[in-house]
Structure 1
Amino acid sequence: MKTFAARTLAPLLLLACALAAGAQTPPGGGGPRKAGVIELARGVVPVEVTLTGQATAVEDASVRPLVDGVITAILYEPGREVAAGAPLFAIDSQTYQASVAAAEANLRSAEAAVGPARAALQRYEKLVGTGVTAEALENARRTLAQAEAAVAVAEASLQTARIALDRTTIRSPVAGVPDVAQVSVGDLVTSGQSTALTTVTALDPIHVDLSEASARMLDLRARIESGAVKPGDRMAVRLMLENGQVFDGTGTLSSVSSRVSTSTGTVRVRFRFDNPHRVIIPGMFVRASVTLGTAEGYLIPQMAAQLQADGTIAIWLADAENRAQTLRVTPMGSTDTAWIVGQGLKDGDRLLVDSIDSLAAGTEIAPVAVTLSPEGVITDAAAPQAAPAPAAGN
């Protein structure tokens, strides 16, 4: 029994000793914690904002008939681009052809009456005072004027008839891509009807409407006026599509709305993009990275910072004694992989870029010099090096 008790108590005594030893071991036991470190250096960095928005067509025309009649032909292929003025639909034109013929006959009749009226007036002007009274001369002048007016009316009627005949061929008002027809051959359509026959959408170029908070616009203006941000010659815009693909196209600022949305508190900023391959279509949601200018500051890799509820970011620095110290700073903007910080740091500060999730203030650090690629990938370095050149930021 004594042997059995000894065998049972021995493991428990060893476990108690181990726990006691662990309780006496200070945090970070086992030596300093290894952590990647980069030395910060102030430089010129791009100031970017990320905005969301939606694509909209530069031209989007609803096609409706301007005369009454029956559709006799659909003259286009949906989805295939057409030029401005290209025929899309044909309306039965027989009635309109007859109207043109009648208007031409009326014009010839009116023109035939002008010659005799002009000749009579010329005769009367020669014989006035010798058998032709002033009243007769005035009547001759009136007759000629009425004949000429009848010609003008007939010409206008003929022009109207020809316009109506021409409108029996419904043409595209803009260059673009027509949608599927909403009518079939044999359907009766009426002038100015509410239902469009089809729509024609111009896809190249295309507008992208982005939304920016009015408060942020005011903040940016204040920073530009104070000199903290220097605006560039033009805004550089990089567009990301719904699938994360970066759009290969050039965007230029088209307009800025003069109103703030009462529901969202945002201002609409419109950019115009070349879209030769029709990648962007109206209604598509997009995300844009807009470079507003440059500022002097530090690039803090996003992997080395924790965003706080008040808009600051928490970072970890290694002090002169290689101990971890936390610091909160306020970013002025960001790039794809880094925050931009203008104040609260100094050249030579050593930023911890990994192994920071479970750090405590005062933890002893064994710094390992690393570098960061423009994509934010950590690479070991033989000696401490500065952070990536800020000018290379996206």
Structure 2
Amino acid sequence: MAFRFTHLLAGVFLASAANAQMPPPTVGVIELKTQAVPRTIVEPGRAIASAQVEIRPRVEGTVTEIGYQAGRPVETGDVLFRIDPSTYEADLRAAEADLAAARASVQEAEAALQRSEQLLGTGTSQAQVDTARSTLEQARATLQSATVTRDLARTDLDRTTVTSPITGVAGFANVSVGDLVAANQADALATVTQLDPIDVEIWAPSARILSLIDDVSSDRVEIAESITATLTLETGRTFDADGQMVATGQNVSETTGSRATRFRFENPRHVLLPGMFVRSEVMLGSARAILVPQSATERAPTGELTAWVVVDGAAEQRSLNEIGTHEHGWIVTDGVAAGELLAVDGLANLTTGIEVQTVPVMLDEDGVVRDLEDADAPGDTEAE
């Protein structure tokens, strides 16, 4: 028994000695550096028509023709509806007859005035000349009124042909041939919507906008001359055109606390439709910041973002202040400094103050940790 106890005690001492001599854990590190990083924000958005017109009749009558196919493009001036013109044609003929009579009256009054002026003092008094002049003025006023009546009659006749005021896509007709319509009625005959280009309204929280203003004021962010946006559709596909900022709203929504900004996109294939929801990434400009790989960070339940750095051979956990993301990294403005070593691999057993052995590594374009030797080896694209 004494022999067995002695050997057991010796094994315990040997194990303790081995543990005491274990080397510090190895972590892969990269050196942080300050760089110009695109400053973007990701926000939800909704497509809205850049122009949309409800077509209403401006004269009363019976619909005699629907001149378009629903869902097909129409150009400015294309005929959409025709209204029975017979009444308005008759009104125009009557107005033209009255106009002709008014012109004849003017000619007669001009001739009468001329004769009166020639005969003044030889059988014609000044009162007769004044009367002839007054008759001419009345005839000219009647002519002017008849001209206006003729123009209005012609306009009403032209309005029996209802055309599209914009280029776009015409929706379903809300009337049929034979229906009676009224001038300026509440119900639209149809709606024409411009789909190319199309606008997208993007909403950003007012707190984020204020933070961006602070970043610009402190020179942390430089705003681009042209602010653009890209879209991700509901299917996850990226929309194949960039949008240009058109205008920014001047009010903050009382219900959402957000401010709207409108971007315009080319939409020749009509992929975007009004009312469609999208996810937008707005390119605001560039920021001088440190890019910290997302895989090297942790997010606490409180929302705090942390990462490990190695200082004088010991692990140290830092709280990070980020203003967004770029590719696979956080855009960090505070918490770490250029030149420090960030731990990106072997993070599982790190604790504050533990001594570590560092190995320089790199991140590939997909954010995956690679050994420097593997990256330098020609034709080798797999991690060991």
**TM-score per shorter chain, which class?**
0.7 to 0.9
How big is each residue's C-alpha offset from its partner over 1:7-39, in whole Å with a ceiling of 9 and x where there is no partner?
A: xxxxxxxxxxxxx9xxx9999x99766654332
The aligned counterpart of 1:391 is: none
Equivalent position SS for 2:362: strand
Equivalent residue number for residue 116 of structure 2: 124
Q: Answer yes or no: is the 8 Å Cα contact 2:318–2:336 preserved in 1.
A: no
Which residue matches 2:9? none
Matched with 2:308 is 316
Aligned match of 2:273 in 281, 286, 297? 281
Matched to 1:294, the amino acid is S
Task: Considering fraction of residues, name the structure with more strand.
Answer: 2
- The answer for the alignment partner of 2:299 in structure 1 is 307
User: 2:227: which partner in 1?
Assistant: 235
Contact 1:370–1:384, Cα closer than 8 Å, also in 2: no
Q: Percent identity?
A: 40
Q: Does 1:337 align with 2:328?
A: yes
Seen in structure 2, the aligned counterparts of structure 1 residues 381 and 71 have a Cα distance that, compared at 3 Å, is same
Name 1:42's counterpart in structure 2. 34
2:293/2:329 contact within 8 Å kept: yes
CA spacing shift, 1:116–1:262, aligned 2, 3 Å: same
Query: Of residues 27, 34, 53 in structure 2, which corresponds to 1:61?
Result: 53
Matches within 5 A, 1:259-278: 259-278=251-270
Runs of 5+ unmatched residues, structure 2:
1-11, 377-384
Is the CA contact (8 Å cut-off) linking 1:46 and 1:293 kept in structure 2? Answer: yes
**Kept after mapping to 2: 8 A contact 1:257/1:269:** yes
| SS of structure 2 residue aligned to 1:131 | coil
SS of the residue aligned with 2:131?
helix
> How many angstroms apart in 1 are the aligned matches of 2:18 and 2:111?
126
CA contact under 8 A between 2:39 and 2:285: conserved in structure 1? yes
Within-5 A mapping of 1:64-103: 64-103=56-95
Q: Determine the structure 2 residue equivalent to 1:258.
A: 250
| Offset, 1:76 | 0.7
Structure 1 letter corresponding to 2:362: T
Residues 265-320 of structure 1: CA deviation (Å, up to 9, x unaligned): 21111112222222222111122212222222211122222234555311123444
> In the alignment, which residue of structure 2 is the partner of 1:390?
none
Give the match for residue 17 of structure 1.
Answer: none
Q: 2-side partners of 1:136 and 1:46: how far apart?
A: 90
State the shift of 1:378 in Å.
3.6
Q: Does residue 142 of the first structure (1) align with residue 131 of the second (2)?
A: no
After TM superposition, the structure 1 stretch with the greater mean CA deviation from structure 2, 273-282 or 120-129, is 273-282
- Once residues 231 and 116 of structure 1 are traced to their aligned partners in structure 2, the CA distance between those partners, rounded to angstroms, is 75
Which amino acid is 2:263 matched to?
A: F
2:149 paired with 1:157: yes
Q: Say whether the 8 Å CA contact 1:54–1:208 is kept in structure 2.
A: yes
Distance 1:167 1:373, change over 3 A: farther
Q: Aligned residue for 2:211?
A: 219
Q: Within 2, Cα distance between the matches of 1:133 and 1:375?
A: 107
8 Å Cα contact 1:311/1:330 also seen in 2: no
Cα distance change of structure 1 residues 365 and 70 upon mapping to structure 2, 3 Å threshold: farther
Match of 2:187 in 1: 195
SS at match of 1:58: strand
User: Greater CA deviation, 193-202 or 42-51?
Assistant: 42-51
Over 3 Å counting, the alpha-carbon distance change for 1:52 and 1:357 in structure 2 is farther
RMSD (CA atoms): 2.8
Query: How big is the shift at 1:73?
Result: 1.0
Contact in 2 for aligned 1:235/1:253 (Cα 8 Å): yes
Letter in 2 for 1:325: E
CA contact (8 A) 1:34 1:367 kept: yes
Query: How has the CA–CA distance of structure 1 residues 319 and 301 changed in structure 2, closer, same or farther, with 3 Å as cutoff?
Result: same
The answer to whether the 8 Å contact 1:75/1:89 transfers is: yes
Paired letter, 2:144: A
Give 2:199's aligned residue: 207
CA distance in 2, matches of 1:263, 1:254: 24
Partner of 1:248: 240
CA shift, 1:115, in A, is: 1.6
Shift of 1:63: 0.5
The reply on whether 1:111 has 2:95 as its aligned counterpart is no
AA matched with 1:326: Q
Q: Name the TM-score, length of structure 2 as normaliser.
A: 0.85
Once residues 77 and 347 of structure 1 are traced to their aligned partners in structure 2, the CA distance between those partners, rounded to angstroms, is: 64
Q: CA deviation at 1:365?
A: 5.4
State the alpha-carbon separation in 1 of the partners of residues 347 and 272 from structure 2: 41
Q: Which is worse superposed, 210-219 or 300-309?
A: 300-309
TM-score (norm 1): 0.83
SS in structure 1 of the partner of residue 370 of structure 2? strand
**Deviation of residue 218 (structure 1)?**
1.7
Pair 1:25–1:165, CA change in 2 (3 A): farther
User: 1:362 Cα shift?
Assistant: 5.3
Match of 1:180 among 154, 172, 175: 172
Give the count of matched residue pairs: 362
Structure 1 counterpart of 2:319, from 304, 312, 328 = 328
Secondary structure in 2 matching 1:65: coil
